[in-house]
Structure 1
């Protein structure tokens, strides 16, 4: 395992999504990271000397344990919608089962940090299926015993997506319209946030190497990302 100040290895799950793509790009630009491993279903049209793509069957993730060897940070950007997944059971696989399995494997290989995207309102006891699943995701990752666990809870994400999400697009228009009114007070929690800022915040959080369990609200994510330009050293 790499020590503070030395080079480090990152693993990214969910690298094909809006935030995941920007996260991978940011990690590759960081001099601190000499190896970035992404676990994907299909190979991406992306090449870089530090990038390693591992094609996986998510239902048999244990077969790819070697990819987790000597990694420092596990970044989780996995997420879908019930519409795209097709059912609540399929949604749970992507947003709960796969990330938790990856976290457990990573822990067995001595990983020190987990940095994952959750959601506003995540609560394992919520009556809302989406919020309950996200809350269960957080609770199960906490149980792994990884020394440093970080959950970012963004509001609606802004940015280009591969698939069209009608509901989220309507929400984006609404939040953009009222954004000036949401910049102060409790409104900051509901401001739509660019995926690029979420990715930048996740990298900065990882580089701070704070032990324990940490949860970052929507406005805290923005503050971390915008506090200063992300150093490439």
Structure 2
């Protein structure tokens, strides 16, 4: 069992909720802390929940951890305005990353979007691109940028646009081959799994961007058990050879004590030891 600790921000969303469950079930992690505005429904002995106002989040609200997973994200429709959308998808992640750097958290993993680019013609992708740029400028110890395609899975809320997109991509999946594979929809649970694999076995470099088609195929390394034969395990000839030392190699166990150098000041008195019967209550 490992001794890792993780922090998850955005744990009540589609990917974040799956990530929390997978982290808690993974033997490498002994502690999983969720920082959220509302309490998640999932419970686990490893899980600690901190209810915080992200507008007032301070350094002491974030304890040390080996990884901080940022799964914050919303839509303009749900946010109600571009200003609120930018606060959730840009300002909060950047502020949390800054606090993580101050706390010495070595690895920050963040979900952006497949088309994230500052010069994108699409507003959503421009915001995500600006977030990536500013996170890189922050100088984190290690930054992993997760760029999934359309996320699919069972949501607690109905999103018409995403449902339509999911059906279209599902029908088009057989046609999305070769370079077009990157446009395939991806299960949120696979993205969560990929983030954990990246944290435990990913590239050890300052900044790494993981596109959707790479996230889709990431899997934990297979554990190879060494096949040890009984002949190798019980090689008595080898054991006997190791036990048969040359006389000159043996340790001389005759210990000579220089009594003039060492003086014993305490006396050892042998006393009769008596045991009192155990009193049963």
Q: TM-score, normalised by structure 1?
A: 0.91
In structure 2, which of residues 85, 91, 106 is the aligned counterpart of residue 91 of structure 1?
85
More contact order relative to length (CA 8 Å, sep ≥ 6): 1
Match of 1:214 in 2: 208
Contact 2:2/2:30, CA 8 A, preserved across alignment: no
Match of 1:159 in 2: 153
Contact 1:96/1:134, CA 8 A, preserved across alignment: yes
Offset at residue 22 of structure 1 (A): 0.5
Q: Which blocks of at least 5 consecutive residues in structure 1 are unaligned? A: none
Offset at residue 55 of structure 1 (A): 0.2
Match of 1:188 in 2: 181
Aligned structure 1 segments of 4 or more residues deviating by more than 3 angstroms: 227-230
Larger fraction in helix: 1
Offset at residue 127 of structure 1 (A): 3.0
1:20 aligns with 2:16: yes
Deviations 1:127-183 (A, max 9, x none): 32101100011112112221111111111111011221111110000001111121x
Match of 1:38 in 2: 34
1:103 aligns with 2:81: no
Give the 5 Å matches for 1:42-191: 42-62=38-58, 65-182=59-176, 184-191=177-184
Aligned residue pair count = 222
Distance 2:173 2:48 in 1: 39
Contact 1:123/1:132, CA 8 A, preserved across alignment: yes
Distance 2:42 2:156 in 1: 16
Distance 1:117 1:222 in 2: 14
Instruction: Look up the SS of the partner of 2:156 in the other structure.
Output: coil
